Amino acid sequence: MSQYFLNHLGLACALGCDLAQIVDGLFAGDRSRMRTGAPWLEERRGRFGAIEETLPELPETLREYDCRNNRLALLVIRQIESAVAELRENLGARRIGVVMGTSTSGIASGEARLGLADEGGYSYRHQQQMGGLAEFVARYLQLEGPRITVSTACSSSANAFASARRLLAGNVCDAVVVGGVDTLCGMTVKGFHSLSALSAGQTQPFSAARDGINLGEAGAVFVMSREPARIRLCGVAASSDAHHMSAPHPQGRGAEASMRGALADAQLDAADIGYLNLHGTGTAQNDVMEAEAAANVLGGDVPCSSTKPLTGHTLGAAGALEAAFCWLALDRGQLPPHAFDGEYDPALRPLNLFTGVKPPQAPSDVSPPRAPRYAMSNSFAFGGSNCSLILGLQEEY
């Protein structure tokens, strides 16, 4: 059976745009870069995971694609550009595909145009249309294989891994640039505000005091191929419970189905999973159903955490971003801590949240969690679109 590896990584989020900086913040549970307020809701004191660094300008030859989303895409694909260039030379441009996930694309550019705040140069096709993201990435990297943009709300870039793997499995491609990019915009911020889903302050997933999400923006891209590497995509599965337009199934049936499907696809048992990156939005309904699903599938002992308090919920980029955090956890043998107020909601099924701090009641001989060999990442979306990924460590590398 063919194996599929994640050979190279490009990454940017609220934790930073430099991989070393992101690693330091991720494993320290650093929430300090979550800023208060956003231009669209300045009066609110909730936090947002905005990228503060200046994003690069697009080349003149690709100026029609110029929007914040594609500038963020450029930032992360530049981190893998030399590796892709070498593959293009060896494999040919037609044998390398692009699969990207997003839920906003360049909507902020459209908002500016509608508000007459821009000075022209707006192109719906290149800046705002969902397919523009993969098209831009392919053009910049000079790739001629299939170019696909997946948009299934918050599971978009997790589902992109399934599409990328199919391109490899079907021998359509020999390598695929896969990931996701999403940037903040008024429609997203005000939309979640209208649903009363935004936290009034810092998001607190699985806390008794949780009151909603913090939104964020991010970009994460990998090169996926059959070329052996240290980290492998072991399993991926999606489900669609279609319970409600925005609310998850209360018992987490769709979430449970995707988790079980990923285990079956990877040919692993629940006991093999050494770390679970929870979808963990901090909303009342998501945390109830995910705790139920995770406890049913993996039990209550597997170390787990939600990394959204560090980055915000990055929507269409969340699946790729949190797969990248699993990639880093496996590569470094560390677990990202669950940063919250420490008051686990007793109404939820018990989970083993890794906070990075040994509970005071724990025996003195309790050891920290072992470095994981397999990690699972959950992404659950509006409309009941669910996806779970499993990454594994190749110990010989």
Work out the angle between the directed axes of helices 186-194 and 107-114 (0-180°, nearest 10).
90
Q: Which of 8, 126, 249, 313 is flagged as catalytic?
A: 313
Q: Which of 8, 126, 279, 338 is flagged as catalytic?
A: 279
Q: Which residues are bridge partners to 393 per DSSP?
A: 231
Q: Is 8 a catalytic residue?
A: no
Q: Is 313 a catalytic residue?
A: yes
Q: Which of 154, 173, 185, 304 is flagged as catalytic?
A: 154
Q: Is 193 a catalytic residue?
A: no
Catalytic residues: 154, 279, 313
